[in-house]
Structures are given as C-alpha cells and as structure tokens.
C-alpha cells in the first residue's frame, strides 16, 4: 500500500483532482527526466487516489516512491477506500448503487454481475454497499492478469473506481469549482461521460459539477507552452502513436473539434500551432 494519508470525509474542498495509474507512470517519467512534475499538480486542495488505483501504482516501486515523495514535499495527496464512498454520498446507498451501475453501464459483464448478485426486487433487501462492492472486486467479472509480484490485476478496476468517485463528488457537492481527472486512459473518459448521461434521471433536480480531464498529451502541451520542456523532450516523453482530441480555431472564428491518431511529428506540429488546444 501507499504510505500516504487516508481521505475519509469531504471538508469543503473546491478544487479536487483524481489521479490514475497511467498519469502517475507518466509523471514519474517526467521527474526522472529532470523536470519538476510537482509544478503540474499545484493548486488543488486535495488530490485523491482510489485504493484500486493505489494497488496498480504499487506494482512499481518507482511509482510508489514517486507518490510518497510528492506527499513528503507537501502536496495534498490522499488515498481513499472504495468502501468509504458511501460516506461521501451521505449514506444514500440506493443512489450509490445507481452511480456504480452507471459507471459500468457500457460493460455487459459488469451489468450482468450487478443484476445477478447485487440487485434485489426490494432495494431494502440489498446487502450493505461496502459488502457487495468488496464481493464484486473479489469476484471481478472482467479479465484478470497476474502480475510479476503475484497481484491480480483486474481489468478497468481503476478507471471504474475513478468514475464512481468523480460522479459522487459531482452530484453531491455542487459548490465544488473543479473536478479534474488525470488519466491517459480513454476508457475513463468514456465511462464518466456515459455515467453522467445515465444519471440525469436519478438526480433530475440537481445540478452536477462538470468533470475536466488532463491526459498525458494535455500535460505535454502544458509543459511545452510554459517553457518547461523542449520539443526534443516532448519526443522523448511521448513513447507511442495515439489518438488526440483537440480543437482548432479557424480564421472565421469558428472552432473545429478533431479526433486524430497522431505520431510524434504530427503532435509536435499541433503543439506549435497557437490555434490548437489539446483536450485529451
């Protein structure tokens, strides 16, 4: 486990960040390149890492040490146990079940598990949230891979946990100014946007807080335009060709939204174009 403090109760924070393993791996790489990753995380009142994500981080001693060093440097990074999400949802376990279902609504195996093992004809007969959630994790319906350390890596568990947490904060705490998800995994984006649409009927009388994203490519753009890294360093830190979502301001003042698979040469051209804003 990460040797960092645990987050138990909402204390009025208005600027919240949620962090995925994919971003931790990237930021650790940034730090090893001699660039201050801490600068990219300043300004949040709390930075949360769900326990399921924490387990993935601890598969690497480098990632584990990196996060613990950021805490030692004063960043407000905490882990949060998924079983404690009920406290954030004011104990409303019926709504919390709906949030969990919404988070996995695009995954047939997860939906089937919830229908067969969790749902009851009378919601009052359902087991306590902490019990059925723990059972779901222990009997994970998606694929499982055993890591070199012997841990069972459960497909999409971290992304699902982040989505649930984002939606709890979004619907229950309207005074939050920003919820920012740090992830390179496009599944997290898809799960959260689908969950948001699914939950509108559940919380029809409430206004949700929008969730924003900072992918690794967004962070590369941010670092380059702030003068933190050179184009050569961009090339070194971006290890694969991948899909980028961005906007492009046109001469007629319109804004084009583009989704394009880009190699490093194409990505660097986007960074140099002042009319381009990287979204994901």
Other beta carbons within 10 Å of 202: 15
HSE-up of residue 72 (Cα within 13 Å, Cβ side): 8
Per-residue pLDDT band at 204 (split at 50, 70, 90): confident
Give the separation between CA 52 and CA 140, rounded to whole angstroms: 12
Residue-wise pLDDT tens digits, 206-252: 889 999 999 999 999 999 999 999 999 999 999 888 999 989 898 88
Q: Work out the pLDDT band at 271, boundaries 50, 70, 90.
A: very high
pLDDT tens figures, 69-119? 999 999 999 999 999 999 999 999 999 999 999 999 999 999 999 999 999
Rounded CA separation 179/167 (Å): 10
Q: In what order do the strands lie in the sheet with 255-262?
A: 255-262, 242-249, 276-278
Residue with tokens 């769900």: 50
In whole numbers, what is the pLDDT of the chain averaged over residues?
92
pLDDT of amino acid 54: 93
Give me 181's structure tokens: 């998800």
């Amino acid at each position: 486990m990460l040797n960092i403090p645990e987050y138990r109760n909402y204390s009025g924070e208005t600027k919240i960040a949620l962090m995925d393993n994919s971003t931790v791996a990237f930021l650790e790489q940034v730090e090893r390149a001699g660039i201050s990753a801490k600068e990219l995380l300043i300004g949040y009142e709390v930075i949360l890492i769900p326990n399921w994500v924490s387990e993935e981080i601890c598969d690497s001693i480098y990632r584990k040490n990196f996060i613990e060093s950021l805490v030692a440097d004063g960043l407000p990074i905490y882990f949060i146990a998924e079983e404690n999400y009920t406290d954030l949802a004011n104990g409303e376990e019926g709504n919390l079940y709906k949030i969990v279902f919404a988070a996995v609504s695009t995954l047939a195996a997860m939906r089937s598990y919830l229908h067969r093992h969790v749902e009851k004809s009378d919601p009052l007969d359902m087991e306590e949230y902490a019990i059925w959630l723990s059972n779901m994790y222990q009997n994970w319906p998606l694929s499982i891979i055993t890591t070199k350390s012997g841990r069972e890596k459960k497909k999409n568990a971290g992304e699902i946990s982040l989505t649930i947490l984002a939606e709890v904060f979004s619907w229950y705490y309207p005074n939050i100014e920003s919820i920012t998800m740090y992830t390179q995994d496009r599944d997290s984006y898809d799960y959260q946007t689908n969950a948001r649409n699914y939950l509108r009927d559940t919380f029809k009388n409430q206004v949700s807080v929008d969730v924003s994203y900072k992918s690794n490519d967004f962070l590369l753009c941010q670092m380059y335009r702030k003068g933190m890294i050179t184009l050569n360093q961009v090339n070194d830190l971006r290890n694969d060709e991948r899909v980028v979502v961005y906007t492009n301001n046109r001469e007629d003042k319109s804004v084009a939204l583009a989704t394009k698979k880009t190699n490093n040469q194409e990505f660097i051209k986007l960074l140099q174009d002042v009319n381009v804003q990287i979204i994901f």
